[in-house]
């Protein structure tokens, strides 16, 4: 037997009420994300960049099991080569390879007695009381994520008013420096026959930090203001279409 208008109307009103409730919930979630997305990003970056710094602190204070968890947690995310990492609580903050040619610093080979070509040993070496203990992220990664965080904090403090960096400026200021430093180092050490004329080079800690800072800072400048513009983009409100039965 077909339903009467009186039977259909309550069901239609109930459905409309559910839609309105869902829209209110969606609006509340969207409003919360809009207000707090930058804080969430900054907190995540802070945890990501400062947790690896706790590894040498834990090693120094004798909490080696906890330090081991941090090193293992970040191992898939970074090469952790000792000669490309920062050290805390030791004679020097860095122990570069002899190939880097930095006369004022003791080299990795000199202080450890290891061959720098043995990458597995360089990855496994975490330091000691004399040399200090390495941070669980390499020099370039620390520079990248710390500069991302610093820009995020600056962007928040200044009221999120900065306009996004253009994509061309981002390529020139962020990608080119890190590409030149990292790619030239990689290619020069691959012993490719037709590139025999290319001098073998090892980047220095200063160049790694500088290129990392530029990549992180200008990437954040390109990305965060773009997200802000998307968040503040005005969208037409979703109106509930009334059921034809309500006009009967």
pLDDT string in tens for the chain (248-residue length)? 555 555 555 666 666 666 666 566 566 776 777 788 999 999 999 999 999 999 999 999 999 999 999 999 999 999 999 999 999 999 999 999 999 999 999 999 999 999 999 999 999 999 999 999 999 999 999 999 999 999 999 999 999 999 999 999 999 999 999 999 988 888 877 767 666 666 778 999 999 999 999 999 999 999 999 999 988 876 554 444 444 444 43
User: How much is the CA Rg of the chain, to the nearest whole Å?
Assistant: 27
User: What was the pLDDT predicted at 9?
Assistant: 54
Residue 47, CA distances (Å) to 41, 81, 146 in order: 10, 22, 11
Domain ranges of the chain: 23-231
User: What was the pLDDT predicted at 131?
Assistant: 97
**Burial of 79 from C-beta contacts in 10 A (0-12 / 13-18 / 19+):** middle
**Burial of 195 from C-beta contacts in 10 A (0-12 / 13-18 / 19+):** exposed
Model-level pTM?
0.82
Instruction: Determine the Cα angle at 56 with ends 144 and 120, to 5°.
Output: 75
User: What was the pLDDT predicted at 185?
Assistant: 84
User: What was the pLDDT predicted at 12?
Assistant: 65
User: What was the pLDDT predicted at 186?
Assistant: 81
User: What was the pLDDT predicted at 194?
Assistant: 62
């Amino acid at each position: 037997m077909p339903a009467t208008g009186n039977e259909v109307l309550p069901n239609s009103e109930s459905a409309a009420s559910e839609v309105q409730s869902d829209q209110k919930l969606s609006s509340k979630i969207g409003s919360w994300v809009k207000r707090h997305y930058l804080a969430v990003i900054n907190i995540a970056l802070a945890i990501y960049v400062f947790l690896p710094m706790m590894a040498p602190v834990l090693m120094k204070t004798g909490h080696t099991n906890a330090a081991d968890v941090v090193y293992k947690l970040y191992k898939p995310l970074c090469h952790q080569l000792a000669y490309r990492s920062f050290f805390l609580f030791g004679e020097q903050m860095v122990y570069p390879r002899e190939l880097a040619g930095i006369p004022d610093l003791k080299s990795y080979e000199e202080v450890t007695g290891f061959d720098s070509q043995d990458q597995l040993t360089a990855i496994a070496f975490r330091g000691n009381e004399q040399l200090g203990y390495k941070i669980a992220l390499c020099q370039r990664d620390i520079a990248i994520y710390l500069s991302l965080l610093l820009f995020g904090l600056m962007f928040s403090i200044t009221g999120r008013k900065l306009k996004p960096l253009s994509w061309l400026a981002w390529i020139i200021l962020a990608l080119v420096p890190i590409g030149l430093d990292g790619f030239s180092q990689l290619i020069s050490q691959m012993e490719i026959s037709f590139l025999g004329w290319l001098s073998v080079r090892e980047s220095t800690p200063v160049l790694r930090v500088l290129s990392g800072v530029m990549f992180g800072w200008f990437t954040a400048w390109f990305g965060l203001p773009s997200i802000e513009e998307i968040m503040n983009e005005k969208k037409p409100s979703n109106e509930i279409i009334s059921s034809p039965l309500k006009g009967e």
